[in-house]
Amino acid sequence: MSNYKQSPPKRFLIIHHQNIGDLLCTTPAIHALRKTYPKCYIVVFANNYNAPILYNNPDIDRIEVYTKAKHKNASESLFFVYIDKLKKIIKLRKERFDYVIVAASSERAREWNLARLCKPKSIVGYVDKNIKPKANDIGLNVPSGNLHEVEYIFNLFKGLGVVHPIPPMQLSVDWGRTGNHSLKINDDGLTIGIHISTRKAKQQWSVENFAGLIKEINNNFKANFLIFWSPGSQDNPKHSGDDEKAQQLFELCKDEPASLYQTNTLHELIIGLSKCQYVICSDGGGMHIAAALGKHIVCLASIPSVTTRWYPWGVKYKLLQSVSNHVNDISFKEVAKSLEELL
């Protein structure tokens, strides 16, 4: 630790190639890194799908954004996407970082190779027999035990002298990037967010369950409901959405104080969830965004690891999980009861 005191590192590059929730779970470590080295320069290399999560984050000096092949626009060629990423790597290489941190909770040989291309003084990350760290690198074994994703990532940063208590996830609401949203939200009273979209079949709760839940809660409490969903048609082969499901739910709840909150961008989802005091959702990116915003959460869990590794970090929450690990086997009355216990 004394080396860091005598000659503190000045430039950090953090490589992150995972999903929205994974990236949010990295923000506590980045915040602690900033507190440890207030004058350092921090760059995050993130993909265009996840990068908006970091916009306006005061702990980060710059976000270098690349495009994943599966997220490219229809007008972009695959060749251009790869060339653009290569140009960004060359740019990062010229910046001569003290440390490149492979911010992943497991051994990632591909990311280690990318880190090497950036030519830092040292690489920090988890290793296995397929990753051969050099003398100046900090290669760590993945800790044993049941840790949260936040804790796995934070453990990497301890090798850099970061010893602060683990802070909450960091997410700034960037009002300047939202554009004009037509829906007027009443800030008075209780507002409950209902996020209906998920990627995996086991995470999907039926429209009938969501409708029953809204009616059950409204019978017991005076609340407003905002319905969130992934935009697009369910028939879109490239990126299916839940436009039809949202409209169907709205029709079933036409006599309830429920509003559709269409979110065409990640920014709009962040803004919408920030208006809620409570959020009901399946495990996934939306859940982690709500947690980072400090919301109380009822989560419908589809995988056992949610209870130990992926639960909402730093907020009050209730996790519900069926024996089958299919969320549709959880009744809306169980969810309503869990919400009542949080209120």
- Collapsing DSSP to helix, strand or coil, 43 comes out as strand
Residue 286 is predicted with a pLDDT of: 94
Residues 98 and 212: beta-carbon distance below 8 Å: no
Contacts of 94 (CB under 8 A, 6+ apart): none
| Predicted local confidence at residue 1, as pLDDT | 39
| Mean pLDDT, the chain cut into blocks of 10 residues (343 residues total) | 59 91 96 96 94 94 90 82 94 96 92 95 94 94 93 95 92 69 63 92 92 95 93 75 94 96 90 95 94 97 87 96 92 97 93
pLDDT of residue 181: 54
Burial code (b: 16+ CB inside 10 Å, e: under 16) for 303-340 equals eeebeebbbbbebebbbbbbeeebbbebebebbbebbe
Looking at residue 187, what is its pLDDT?
A: 59
CATH 3.40.50.2000 for domain 184-342: yes
Q: Where are the domains of the chain?
A: 2-158, 184-342
Among the residues of the chain, which ranges form H helices? 2-6, 20-24, 27-36, 78-93, 109-117, 149-158, 207-220, 243-252, 266-274, 285-292, 332-342
Q: What is the pLDDT of residues 81-128, one digit of tens each?
A: 999 999 999 999 999 999 999 999 998 899 999 999 999 999 999 999
Query: Quick one: tokens of 204?
Result: 């999907």
* Nearest partner of 171 among 24, 16, 311, judged by Cα: 24
Class of domain 2-158: alpha beta
The reported pLDDT for the residue numbered 186 is 60
CA distances from 272 to 29, 174, 295 (A): 26, 12, 12
Confidence at residue 180, expressed as pLDDT on a 0 to 100 scale: 45
pLDDT digits (tens, 9 = 90+) for 125-162: 999 988 999 999 999 999 988 899 999 999 999 999 99
Is-same-fold flag (2-158; 184-342)? yes
Structure tokens at 281: 């959702």
